[in-house]
Amino acid sequence: MGKTWHLGPGARELEAGVQSGRPPSPANVGVHSVTVHGSDLYRLNCQGCHGESGEGAPPEINSLINPVRATAVDAVIDRLKSTGAEIGRAEATKMAQQSRDALLQRLHDGGENMPAFPHLSEAEIHSLLAYLKQLSGIPGNENKQMVVRESPYRIGELIVKSTCHTCHSAVGANPTSQELMDGAIPPLSTLLKRVSEGELIRKVTHGAPIIMGTPPMLYRGRMPVFDYLTPQEADDVYWYLATYPPPESAGHNPAIGLSTQNHFYSAAPSAHASDGKRRAIARAGTQSLQENAESNVRTAFLLGALALFAFLLLAGGLGFTIYELKRLSAESERRKIVRVRASILGFPVPQRDPDSTAASASRARLRQAAR
């Protein structure tokens, strides 16, 4: 079982690597980011175990519906009312807050079988929580799923760290076919030696039989089919895995680990965080602020460029219109001169439409009548 989810680089790191040309570029390198909603984040992070409905498969996989409902004050009050007990709003609010903290703690630390999700950003958690509430039937959350922009690497990272890592270890030896027969699951770092890009996409989204055992025979694969993932998302997994084995430092680099922790703890400050951890979080906080500032500068630059482009386009259009107007009026002037000259020289001149003269006469009459 792959429980070493601390291994594996963060998407941000990879994007930086792409710029310096280190890891291989994905085929979709032209796509800089995709827009995801809370429902997508649920699909990428949670659905693999908890299913589309969120009910899981008890007793092994707990339902997430009730722990999410417990975070909503009205749901807490309603639930107690249905059992005949009553509770004040203040007390219900306190309990809902406790349940919310517990839910976020669970998300951050994982459980006995649940992977930990310390790598989720604050925006991702907010968007995901809104969808979880919607899924749990708490009214008023339909329009609260914040839109998050993600890089293809990030999509790959999310799927690998939540779904793939549940069964696949991060690193290890490439198992032989006999070892596969004995139940070995190939580690993520060897996957790309075993399958091509197309094969991985097919295996993930549609399933594929595998050859196992001696003598080699075709078996139906053991891996679940993730038909709710798009081929593009499976491709993102491929290119994220192209960076495996992860650099030694990835899991232990305090800067990376803490900055991701900070994303979480700023959403839900933990009462159990030790002093050292808190100091580290504070340090990471400034780092994250710098990151935010950087991204703000980038956004401002993009907006400026867009505005400049729009201005140039409009100015060009205006210039062209003026030019065309001038050209056309000059042309009609030239034609008038030609007509006058032709009439002087006795050439046949095309008559004006008699209707239009009649019309202008009637307009003149009308104007007179108006006076």
Binding stretches for another protein (CB under 8 A): 59, 62, 66-67, 69-70, 76, 79-80, 83, 85-87, 91, 94-96, 98-99, 101-102, 105-106, 111-114, 272
Enter the tokens of residue 243: 């960076």
**42 touches 135 (CB < 8 A):** yes
Gyration radius of the chain's alpha carbons: 33
The three-state secondary structure class of 185 is coil
Task: Give the whole-angstrom CA distance, residue 309 versus residue 296.
Answer: 20
**In this complex, which beta carbon is closest to another protein, that of residue 113 or of residue 292?**
113
Tokens 């050209």, located at residue: 327
Q: Which is nearer to another protein, 35 or 83 (CB)?
A: 83
Q: Minimum Å distance from CB 151 to another protein?
A: 32
Q: φ, ψ for residue 222 (rounded to 5)?
A: -90, -20
Provide, rounded to whole angstroms, the least separation between the CB of residue 241 and another protein.
29
Question: Of 108 and 203, which CB lies nearer to another protein in the complex structure?
Answer: 108
| Cβ-count burial 320-335 (b if 16+ within 10 Å, e if not) | eeeeeeeeeeeeeeee
Q: For residues 10 and 14, what is the distance between their CA atoms, to the nearest angstrom?
A: 7
With respect to another protein, which residue has the nearer C-beta, 113 or 286?
Answer: 113
Please say which residue, 87 or 318, places its beta carbon nearer to another protein: 87
- Give the N- to C-terminal CA distance of the chain in Å, as an integer: 95
Q: Are 241 and 188 in contact (CB under 8 A)?
A: yes
CA distance 79 to 206: 41
Question: Which C-beta is closer to another protein: that of 78 or that of 199?
Answer: 78
Residue 169, beta-bridge partner list: none
Distance of closest approach, residue 1 Cβ to another protein, in angstroms: 15
**CA dihedral sign, ordered 87, 90, 94, 96:** positive
The nearest distance, CB 62 to another protein, in angstroms, is 6
CB of 285 to another protein, least distance (A): 24
Q: What is the distance between the alpha carbons of residues 212 and 4, in angstroms, rounded to a whole number?
A: 26
Q: Are 262 and 285 in contact, with CB atoms under 8 Å apart? A: yes
- Contact between 231 and 154 under an 8 Å Cβ cutoff? The reply is no
Which CB atom, from 80 or from 192, has the smaller least distance to another protein? 80
For residues 272 and 367, which CB has a smaller minimum distance to another protein in the complex?
272
Helix (H) or strand (E) holding 210, with range, is: strand 210-212
Number of C-alpha atoms within 13 angstroms, CB side, residue 132? Answer: 27
Residue 64 beta carbon to another protein: minimum distance, rounded to whole angstroms? 10
For another protein, the closer CB: 97 or 178: 97
Report the nearest approach of another protein to the CB of residue 79 (Å). Answer: 6
d(CA 263, CA 250): 17
Q: Minimum distance from CB of 53 to another protein (Å)?
A: 17
Minimum CB distance to another protein, residue 104 (Å): 10
